[in-house]
Amino acid sequence: MRALFVGSPCAIAARLLWTWLENGNEVVEFWTPAFIGERHWRQDRWDGRMRSKWSVSQALRRHRIPLRVVGPIRRDREAHRRTRALGADVLLSGCFMYRVPTEILDCFGDRAINFHPALLPMYRGADPRAAMILHGKADCYGGVTMHVMSPEFDTGDIVAVRRVPWGDARSFDAWDLAMGRAVGSMTAHELPRYLAGEFVASPQTGPASGSLKAKERRIALDDSMSGARMREVVDRLSAVRRVSVHTPLGMIRVAGFVRALGPATGGPPVVSRGRVELDASDQRVVLRRRRRFARLSDRLRRALLVRRTSSAHAAIATGASAPDAAHGRGTGAS
């Protein structure tokens, strides 16, 4: 089969892309959002040096897949014309971020498939994993949903799910790679069966929720959070999101939990060269400030984690069979 692929350089897109190609399929073009910065592609290239099959860049180069940078395509007539001209059988999406309009979806019908990093219908929309962590729900709703794409974000019928709770993940990157492995397994097993007509997708059921609003994506810690909650948010998110605290010197970015000092004092935050001391709701805590060259060390740490991760273990997060998962909630461990 020939697929038009829309996505970003990330673990989910990389494993989807590589597994699709390894199953004997083709990709006619890869579309990526214009707002994806060079730092994301740089990280993707670093990952590819360690394990080529965790890199979108490596797949595009090795299989000579054209890369097209696109803006919002809801009103882009050229995108619609190009979609028809490419003649792809399937539309595959992994972390694309732009809304795909009805005109393009109609070219594929129920063969437009997205992989969403949460158990739908909970945590629809952008940045669901940060929202799950902030809400303390990463073990409840962590996972991947393969679903038919719809004009509204993440509301289409469910093909299959894999649970990937935070569990024993020591970092966001480890959780991200676990989701990538789950996507690789779903692409190898459930996706071909669905496209072959062995089962149909099922409507979403149960309570639904949206993800973070744009104004919430810059995460600010304050004394409404407990010390334990501050520690969880900082440890899990600070390497991939801006986590800050409000101080008399302005907003200061933090990168780690140092220790608890005792009961909350009611005093203002105190800033030193490498630390910030402040009140949580139940205790006084010390957080580590983010270092100047932290991004480089974060990139290297992730690349080394990718190196230790064998792409052969595609079924790290095994779930229920596709028909069961579509009708229920699929089980599995990360």
Residue 243 forms part of a structural domain: yes
Start-to-end Cα distance in the chain: 30
- Pick from 96, 93, 30: nearest CA to 66: 30
Q: Give the pLDDT confidence score for residue 310 in this predicted structure.
A: 56
Residue 136 forms part of a structural domain: yes
Residue 301 forms part of a structural domain: no
Cα(105)–Cα(113) distance, integer angstroms: 10
Q: Does residue 151 sit in the same domain as residue 275? A: no
pLDDT tens-digit profile of 172-216?
999 999 999 999 999 999 999 999 999 999 999 999 988 776 556
Those residues whose C-beta lies under 8 Å from the C-beta of residue 100, and which sit 6 or more positions away, are 6, 73, 91, 93, 112, 149, 151
Q: Does residue 272 sit in the same domain as residue 200? A: no
Q: Does residue 223 sit in the same domain as residue 207? A: no
Q: Does residue 101 sit in the same domain as residue 134? A: yes
| Contact between 31 and 68 (Cβ < 8 Å) | yes
Q: Give the pLDDT confidence score for residue 317 in this predicted structure.
A: 39
CB atoms under 10 Å from CB of 23, counted, come to 12
Residue 306 forms part of a structural domain: no
Q: Does residue 154 sit in the same domain as residue 219? A: no
pLDDT grade, residue 19 (50/70/90)? very high
Q: Does residue 125 sit in the same domain as residue 243? A: no
DSSP letter string over 48-105?
HHH-GGG-HHHHHHHTT--EEEE---TT-HHHHHHHHHHT-SEEEEES--SPPPHHHH
Domain count for the chain, please give it.
2
Q: Does residue 92 sit in the same domain as residue 236? A: no
Cα(48)–Cα(50) distance, integer angstroms: 5
Q: Does residue 163 sit in the same domain as residue 267? A: no
What average pLDDT does this structure show over 150-173?
A: 93
Residue 143, H or E segment: strand 143-148
Residue 334 forms part of a structural domain: no
Residue 300 pLDDT > 80 = no
Q: Does residue 32 sit in the same domain as residue 146? A: yes
Helices 172-188 and 11-22, packing angle to 10 deg: 20
Share of the chain above pLDDT 90, in %: 69
pLDDT tens-digit profile of 257-291?
999 999 999 999 999 989 999 999 999 999 999 88
What average pLDDT does this structure show over 15-33?
A: 97
Share of the chain above pLDDT 70, in %: 90
- Pick from 84, 124, 246, 115: nearest CA to 186: 115
CATH number of the domain where residue 322 is located = 3.40.50.12230
Structure tokens at 76: 């882009």
Q: Give the pLDDT confidence score for residue 214 in this predicted structure.
A: 58
pTM for the structure as a whole: 0.86
Domain around 67: 2-211+312-327
Q: Give the pLDDT confidence score for residue 77 in this predicted structure.
A: 84
Indicate if the alpha-carbon torsion angle 43, 49, 54, 60 is positive or negative.
Answer: positive
Cα(129)–Cα(150) distance, integer angstroms: 21
Place of tokens 């990360």: 334
Residue 303 forms part of a structural domain: no
Q: Does residue 264 sit in the same domain as residue 154? A: no
Structure tokens at 154: 């993440």
pLDDT grade, residue 218 (50/70/90)? confident
pLDDT grade, residue 308 (50/70/90)? confident
Q: Does residue 77 sit in the same domain as residue 179? A: yes
Characterize 189-228 residue by residue with b for buried, 16 or more Cβ atoms within 10 angstroms of its Cβ, and e for exposed: bbbbebbeeebebbebeeeebebbeeeeeebebeeebebe
Residue 333 forms part of a structural domain: no
